[in-house]
């Protein structure tokens, strides 16, 4: 406490001011968090993070904040620290690894709470269906989704899920027609489902029903202006239908949206060549080759990254 004497109307009065305790150093806050005193450390970590300038310090404080938030089951705080880390260090392996685990833990926690609080809800059926789908048990997943539809026939997205799973099965005409029916039903429930329009377009294109394919792809691009695959499907269908000049614009958009997609450049090169633009065609072909090489290198790096931890060093 600090005591000061001031003169008020000729009288001496004592005014007592509360003196703020000295601020803890960043190192002491980190030590507090890492020694398990998270309840005390968490508010200090939040303040310290907003004041930190050094990037490495920001990262340490953020990581400690996430760990403390999770240990205290303070999911809002943990997610807040994680958002800060993801913004400041978007490609950092440690941050990305932690993000995977935190959101996985949050997902498990929320699903357990859902099953306890609303065991008969359709959302529990959806979770069961998603779990079965992830395990490759497609018929059982479809059965769960059917139960959801029996209770909630107008629920968006469920016919779409069933359609995708039907297409994942044996490649028969029967399955193809069954999947088409599911996507058509989905569009009755949710006319804004660009994915359903896209798949119907691709199925029509495979059957060489190009006008129908073009119609579905066009609707998909209008529903989602950043749907690069839909623009590729549209341009490719136009090429296959002989509408070469019309194919240029959607394929240009696809290449703009996804410059790393080899298919966009390949079909755009074809469109340029067919419409009498050899220089542009050659440029796009070169971009196609570059994008293809990048994809190959990425796959190789992923395979190497997965294989390396399995190596035993003696």
Contact between residue 107 and residue 79 where contact means Cβ atoms under 8 Å apart: no
Least-confidence region, from 84-88, 144-148, 264-268, 287-291: 84-88
> Residue 157: pLDDT above 70?
yes
Res. 117: pLDDT tops 60: yes
Output the CA–CA distances (angstroms, integers) from residue 254 to 234, 272, 301, in the order listed.
Answer: 10, 14, 26
| Percent of the chain with pLDDT strictly greater than 70 | 89
Q: Which residue, among 134, 156, 161, 131, has the nearest Cα to 145 in the 3D structure?
A: 161
- Confidence (pLDDT) at 23: 55
pLDDT value at 12 more than 90: no
Q: Decide if pLDDT at 269 tops 90.
A: yes
Average pLDDT on 35-52 reads 89
Q: Is 140 exposed, middle or buried (0-12, 13-18, 19+ CB in 10 A)?
A: middle
- The rounded mean pLDDT for the chain is 88
pLDDT higher than threshold 50 for residue 135: yes
Per-residue pLDDT reduced to its tens digit, 281-307: 999 999 999 999 999 998 888 777 655
State the pLDDT at residue 305.
Answer: 67
Instruction: Give pLDDT, residue 75.
Output: 83
- What is the structure's pLDDT at 1? 44
Q: Is pLDDT at 312 greater than 80 in this prediction? A: no
Global pTM reads: 0.75
pLDDT value of position 144? 95
- What was the pLDDT predicted at 313? 40
* DSSP string computed for 23-46: PPPHHHHHHHHHTT-HHHHHHHHH
pLDDT at 3 > cutoff 80: no
Instruction: Calculate Rg over the CA atoms of the chain.
Output: 29
Top mean-pLDDT range of 3-17, 50-64, 111-125, 199-213: 199-213
Helix/strand/coil for 11: strand
């Amino acid at each position: 406490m600090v005591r000061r004497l001031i003169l008020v109307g000729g009288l001496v009065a004592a005014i007592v001011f509360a003196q703020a305790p000295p601020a803890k150093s960043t190192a002491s806050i980190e030590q507090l968090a890492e020694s398990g005193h998270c309840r005390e450390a968490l508010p200090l970590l939040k303040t310290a993070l907003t004041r930190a300038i050094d990037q490495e310090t920001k990262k340490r404080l953020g990581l400690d904040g996430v760990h403390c938030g999770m240990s205290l089951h303070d999911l809002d705080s943990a997610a807040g620290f994680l958002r800060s880390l993801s913004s400041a260090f978007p490609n950092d392996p440690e941050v990305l690894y932690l993000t995977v685990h935190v959101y996985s833990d949050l997902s498990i926690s929320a699903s357990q709470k859902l099953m306890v609080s609303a065991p008969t809800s359709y959302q529990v059926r959806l979770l069961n269906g998603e779990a079965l789908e992830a395990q490759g048990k497609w018929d059982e997943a479809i059965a769960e989704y059917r139960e959801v539809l029996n209770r909630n026939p107008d629920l968006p997205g469920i016919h779409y899920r069933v359609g995708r799973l039907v297409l994942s099965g044996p490649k028969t005409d029967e399955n193809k027609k069954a999947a088409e029916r599911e996507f058509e039903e989905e569009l009755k429930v949710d006319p804004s489902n660009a994915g359903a329009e896209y798949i119907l377009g691709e199925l029509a294109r495979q059957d060489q029903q190009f006008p129908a394919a073009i119609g579905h792809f066009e609707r998909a691009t209008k529903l989602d202006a950043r749907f690069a695959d839909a623009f590729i499907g549209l341009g490719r269908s136009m090429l296959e239908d002989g509408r070469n000049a019309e194919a240029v614009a959607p394929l240009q958009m696809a290449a703009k949206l996804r410059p790393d997609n080899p298919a966009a450049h390949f079909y755009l090169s074809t469109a340029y060549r067919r419409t009498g633009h050899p220089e542009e065609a050659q440029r796009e072909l070169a971009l196609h080759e570059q994008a293809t090489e990048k994809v190959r290198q990425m796959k190789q790096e992923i395979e190497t990254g997965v294989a390396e931890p399995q190596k035993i060093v003696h």
